[in-house]
Amino acid sequence: MTTILPTQEQQQALAQTVNLAEIEALGRARLDRNALEYYASGANDGHTLHANRENFGHIRLRPRMLVDVSAIDISTTVLGLPLDFPVGIAPSAFHGLAHPDAELATARAANAAGSVMTLSTFSNTPIADVGQAAGGRLWFQLYLLADRELSREIIARAEASGARALVFTVDAPYLGRREANERHRFALPPHLSAPNVATPQELAGVETDTGSQLTNYFQNLVDKTFTWNDLAWLRQQTTLPIILKGILTAEDAELAVQHGCHIWVSNHGGRQLDTAISAIAALPEIADAVAGRAEIYLDGGITRGTDVLKAVALGARAVFLGRGALWGLAAGGEDGVRRVLELLRDEVRLALALSGKQNLGQVGRDLLKM
């Protein structure tokens, strides 16, 4: 597997970045309109998209003083997998729009940083190849397909490729309306495909004269009849832990626990139901309902180490980056994703120390002023 190295100019630009916003600016500048609108778009008016970010700023920290913070430990575990710090990579489709190395670069970066990558069903790279690059630090995200046999085959491939968990996305029986994608008829360029679910010929045959190619393809692909009662079928297909991604209420969190699943608090990056609650605003009621009976994760709006700390204080075991990783990938391939993770790791360590905490086990709601 080859690696496309960043140019000297890209390396210098990355080295000069001091936060994720600067890496985002670099990444955005290197994407064409098709890719940029796909990554950046939210549903409808973008209220939930913006709330994911803005609601972190409404939460204040209550730091304690005169604590020995000479040794800081920001490590944690997710489902028994050690992480160097509580940040992973969320599933997002089509990394090949950002960089030729696509999901391979993201997986290598996550592995090198002691993190974990969640591979999307709609990756541009076969599961087995990403599994090799991830070095045992791989989860797999599943859309439950109307073709149950194909779903079964995909799950088996994920297990054989070293995935340590199955992340079942529950908030997308239909795709949310991302108007920029509809207006400009988003489509994959000819050199990219979605090898886990479709042949290049199948994708090429999807109508793109009206609306988004992905929306037109997706509408008949996913099982819209799947309910809580069908989770027993999913459990029969795998021995992996199952994480339900897209939970936003205490009621659904309770049902998830009753069905033996872990919980991923998410509104799909603001791309599904606009004006839905932000992930960080939903977290407290979910953590109260779960009461330690399952692990909880969160994505949506993470750009700072203080965001990570706030999510942990409210009950998340770890947080996951969606767009942040994609901006890094566009800015500099594997090096760009690694730079994103390194900057966030250093910010988490500093935020923990300045809050008067020595490790993540000491972080609770007493740290916050809501």
Check: CB of residue 256 under 8 Å from CB of residue 238: no
How far is CA 330 from each of CA 14, 53, 221, 237, rounded to the nearest angstrom? 11, 21, 29, 35
Of the residues 95, 99, 262, 268, which is catalytic? 268
User: Other CB atoms closer than 10 Å to residue 82's CB: what's the count?
Assistant: 11
Q: Is 58 a catalytic residue?
A: no
3-state secondary structure the chain: CCCCCCCHHHHHHHHHCCCHHHHHHHHHHCCCHHHHHHHHCCCCCCHHHHHHHHHHHCCEECCCCCCCCCCCECCEEECCEEECCCEEECCCCCHHHCCCCHHHHHHHHHHHCCCCEEECCCCCCCHHHHHHHHCCCEEEEECCECCHHHHHHHHHHHHHCCCCCEEEECCCCCCCCCHHHHHCCCCCCCCCCCCCCCCHHHHHCCCCCCCCHHHHHHCCCECCCCCHHHHHHHHHCCCCCEEEEEECCHHHHHHHHHCCCEEEECCHHHCCCCCCCCHHHHHHHHHHHHCCCCCEEEECCCCCHHHHHHHHHCCCCEEEECHHHHHHHHHHHHHHHHHHHHHHHHHHHHHHHHCCCCEHHHCCHHHEEC
Q: Which residues are catalytic, by number?
A: 268
